[in-house]
Amino acid sequence: MAHKDHADVYRVVHDLFSKIPFNQLLGLEIEDMSDEHARLRFAMRDDLVGNYTRNILHGGVISATLDVTSGLMAFVGVAKRIRSGSLAEKMERFSRLGTIDMRVDYLRPGAGEYFVASARVIRSGNRIAVIYAELHNDSDELVASSTCTYLVG
């Protein structure tokens, strides 16, 4: 559950997240977001297939989903550090967040009817946040994992 001190920020992020065209394109939906983790879900669709002979998820969809999920957690790290200031000030700081490095390990083919990505903060500092994320299929098999670094300040 979101910390009550920044519940307003979580509401705004949920709203903004659902309006981002790329998130809509991938069909990403926030299942859960808290101070400890973020979890997104999306359904397999024909237009997300990268290997049509095996009907498996495209690697770009996997990496983009891990990046989006990790980005949510980088935001959480920023929100936890900002205890004062208006919602507008918090959102301005969030708008400067950006991926500066990302490593993805593709561990098995992305086969399934739906996928769940989860992320947690490894470290969140004044300028840099490091996030670990995983993507699981509908059988809870680990499809891929990532470590992402974000500029947050």
Tens of pLDDT, residue by residue over 40-66, are: 999 999 999 999 999 999 999 999 999
Neighbours of 7 (CB within 10 A): 11
Output DSSP code: residue 22.
H
Q: What is the mean pLDDT of the chain?
A: 90
Q: List C-alpha distances in Å: 42 to 11, 23, 82, 93, 116.
A: 20, 10, 30, 28, 7
Average the pLDDT over 86-90 and give the result. Answer: 74
What is the per-residue pLDDT for 1?
Answer: 44
Helix axes of 59-81 and 7-19: crossing angle, nearest 10 degrees: 150
CATH 3.10.129.10 fits 4-151, yes or no: yes
Task: Return the amino acid letter for 147.
Answer: T
> What pLDDT shows up at residue 114?
98
> Per-residue pLDDT tens for 116-143?
999 999 998 889 999 999 999 999 999 9
Please give the pLDDT value at position 15: 82
pTM: 0.89
pLDDT of residue 17: 85
Tell me how far apart the alpha carbons of residues 120 and 70 are, in angstroms, rounded to a whole number: 7
pLDDT beyond 80 at 89: no
**Would you state the pLDDT for residue 93?**
76
* Burial class, 90, CB count within 10 angstroms (exposed 0-12 / middle 13-18 / buried 19+): buried
Q: Which two tokens stand for residue 51?
A: 């290997």
Whole-number pLDDT of residue 75 = 83
- Quote the CA–CA distance of 114 and 124 in Å, as a whole number: 30
**Residue among 77, 1, 83, 70 at smallest CA distance from 34:** 1
- Residue 136 one-letter amino acid: H
